[in-house]
Structures are given as C-alpha cells and as structure tokens.
C-alpha cells in the first residue's frame, strides 16, 4: 500500500510540477538544426512537398481537399452558371483521395456550395479525377447537388437578354470590379457572365497544384451577332494562388437563356513585362 502511494506521489510530482514557473521557449534544437542545414542547403524544389500527397481520408481544411473542391465549383459554373447564377465553394465537409493505378488520383468530396446572387446554399457530393503523367488532361468531375441547381432565374435572364437584344448600341465596360471592389449595378450581369466563362478556363487549367479565382475583368466588349446568341469579347485576369500569378486570358463568349454560357475561343496572353516598368516621372 505504502509503495503504491509513493509511486502515485512520484508520478504526481512529475505531472504537476511547479505551476508558477513560466517557461519561455528557447530557440529549439529543431531550429538550430534547420539554421545550420540552411547554409549547406542546395536549392530544394517543390518535389519534396509533392511526393507526400495525402491519400485516404483527408482533412477538409487542408489544401488537397480545398483545391479539389474548387475544381468542383468551376465545373458547376460551366454547366449551370449564367449572368444571374454564380456558384461559389462555401465549405468542404469531408474528403477522401485514392490513387488510381498509375493514371492519376481520385477525390471524393462532400461540400457546400453557395449561389451568390440568391444567397442560397446547398450540399453536393462530388468526384474529381486528376490525371497524372505526360498527357495533362483537365480534371474530370462528377457532381450531385441537392436542390441548389434548380434555382430559377428565367425571369431575370430573359429580361436581360431582351434588353440587350433590343439595344441598338453594344455594351462595353472595363475594370470590373474597379480598384475599390466596386461594380456598377447594371454591369454586374457582365461580371457574373465573366465568372462563369472564366470557370471554363479555370476548370481546364486546374491541377492538384493550383487554386484559381477570377481577379478582374479588364475589359468586355459586346460584339454584333446575327444569331440568337449574345456575343462578348472579354479580357479576364485570373489569380492563381500557389504561384501568386495574375494570368491574362482573352475569351470569346456566347450566351442566351436556352443554351447557357459557351466559350467559343480562348487565348492565354503573355505576362505583361512592359506593364511593370516605372512610369517616367519623379
């Protein structure tokens, strides 16, 4: 009995110790190791990171599930988006990844998606397949959403369509949003249309190492058409999060309510090096 008490007391001492000491962490061995090795370090490339890609159950807050889920957002927009319907990834609830032979990796995701204009949310189940190897295909997506995709925007779309069809002058705009995040209300449908159109590009360009958002519409010009379609030429700036680059794309987009949004032509523009030079002042 006494022995047991001694043991318990010893253990208690170890655990509780003295509560009044505040220990300020010194520079840790890990850091010393890292600092020393830093000097000897030959440039490591990102391959160090990528080899350790997550498989099995994924942490929904970590980047692998998040990047795959973003791809689902782009996919949903290409199918269901319009000047009055734009979807945005809201949350990732759970995710799973598995390697598929040598051909790629498949993600299964449970996510919430929000329609931005009506401000409604819904849950979706999705599968995203990223192919590996020499032939870089765009990711393949399958998705099932409850309710969300059935949002009715026919009235607004028809009204907007009719308004533009009747108009003798052609619409154009630049910098949506402006530097302060402002968009004129009657330009918003063109901004939404750009979001949907750029989703086609963002979907095509996405890999497990990218995360795309549309940063800005640099300019948009409505083109004359003889068909039922409305046609627009866009210069769109995309933001890629991992490289932090701004990528410029020229798009030819058509839209009419029954057929939805289509991207007829897309062209990636070169990085504007000249744009960066200081102006000849001061």
Residue with tokens 């505040």: 22
The CA-atom distances, in angstroms, between 236 and each of 78, 152, 175, 197, 250 are 16, 27, 9, 9, 6
Q: Whole-angstrom Cα distance, residue 199 to residue 73?
A: 8
Q: Does 9 bind other proteins (CB under 8 A)?
A: yes
Q: CB under 8 A: which stretch of 11-19, 120-128, 132-140, 163-171 binds other proteins? A: 11-19
Per-residue mark of binding to other proteins, 47-66 (x: CB under 8 A): -xx--x------x-xxx---
The number of residues that bind other proteins (CB under 8 A) is 65
Residue 192's SS3 state is helix
Q: For residue 36, state whether it binds other proteins (rule: CB under 8 A).
A: no
Whether 191 contacts 177, CB under 8 Å = yes
Cβ of residue 244: shortest distance to other proteins, in angstroms? 4
| Cβ–Cβ < 8 Å for 178, 107 | no
Q: How far apart are CA 107 and CA 109, in angstroms?
A: 6
Distance CA 156, CA 152 (A): 9
Q: Closer CB to other proteins, residue 4 or residue 155?
A: 4
Locate 172 and state its tokens.
């154009």
Q: Given the rule CB under 8 A, which of 43-51, 154-162, 163-171, 250-258 is the region that contacts other proteins?
A: 43-51
Binding status of residue 3 toward other proteins by CB under 8 A: no
Nearer of residues 62 and 268 to other proteins, judged by Cβ: 62
244 lines the binding site for other proteins (CB under 8 A): yes
Give dist(CA 42, CA 40) in Å, integer.
6
Q: How far apart are CA 259 and CA 228, in angstroms?
A: 10
Unique residue bearing structure tokens 């159950």: 57
Rule CB under 8 A: is residue 180 a binding residue for other proteins? yes
User: Helix 188-205 to helix 63-80 angle, to the nearest 10 degrees?
Assistant: 120
Q: Which stretch binds other proteins (CB under 8 A): 26-34, 74-82, 118-126, 253-261?
A: 26-34
Contact with other proteins (CB under 8 A) among 241, 250, 262, 266: 241
| Comparison of 205 and 256: residue with beta carbon closer to other proteins | 205
Report if residue 186 touches other proteins, rule: CB under 8 A.
Answer: no
The site for other proteins (CB under 8 A) is made up of 1-2, 5-6, 8-9, 12, 16, 19-20, 22, 24-28, 30-31, 34-35, 38, 41, 43-46, 48-49, 52, 59, 61-63, 88-89, 91, 116, 174-175, 177-182, 213, 215-216, 237, 239, 241-246, 271, 273, 275-279, 281-282
């Amino acid at each position: 009995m006494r022995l047991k008490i001694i043991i318990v007391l010893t253990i208690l001492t170890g655990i509780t110790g003295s509560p009044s000491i505040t220990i300020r962490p010194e520079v840790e061995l890990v850091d010393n190791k890292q600092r020393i090795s830093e000097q000897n370090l030959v440039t490591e490339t990102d391959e160090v990171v990528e080899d350790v890609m997550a498989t099995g159950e994924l942490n929904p807050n970590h980047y692998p599930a998040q990047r795959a889920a973003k791809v689902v957002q782009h996919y949903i927009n290409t199918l269901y988006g319009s000047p009055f319907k734009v979807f945005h990834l809201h949350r990732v609830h759970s995710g799973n990844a598995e390697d598929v032979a040598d051909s790629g990796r498949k993600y299964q995701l449970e996510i919430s998606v929000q329609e931005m204009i009506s401000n409604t949310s819904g849950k979706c189940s999705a599968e995203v397949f990223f192919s590996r190897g020499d032939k870089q295909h765009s990711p393949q997506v399958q998705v099932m959403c409850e309710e969300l995709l059935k949002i009715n925007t026919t009235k607004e779309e028809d009204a907007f369509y009719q308004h533009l069809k009747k108009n003798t002058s052609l619409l154009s705009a630049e910098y949506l949003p402006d530097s302060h995040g402002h968009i004129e209300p009657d330009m918003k449908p063109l901004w939404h249309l750009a979001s949907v159109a750029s989703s086609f590009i963002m979907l095509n360009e996405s890999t497990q190492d990218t995360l795309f958002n549309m940063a800005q519409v640099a300019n948009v010009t409505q083109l004359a058409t003889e068909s039922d379609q409305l046609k627009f030429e866009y210069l769109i700036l995309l933001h890629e999060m991992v490289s932090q680059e701004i990528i410029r794309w020229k798009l030819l987009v058509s839209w009419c309510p029954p057929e939805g949004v289509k991207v007829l032509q897309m062209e990636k523009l070169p990085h504007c090096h000249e744009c960066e030079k200081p102006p000849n002042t001061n």
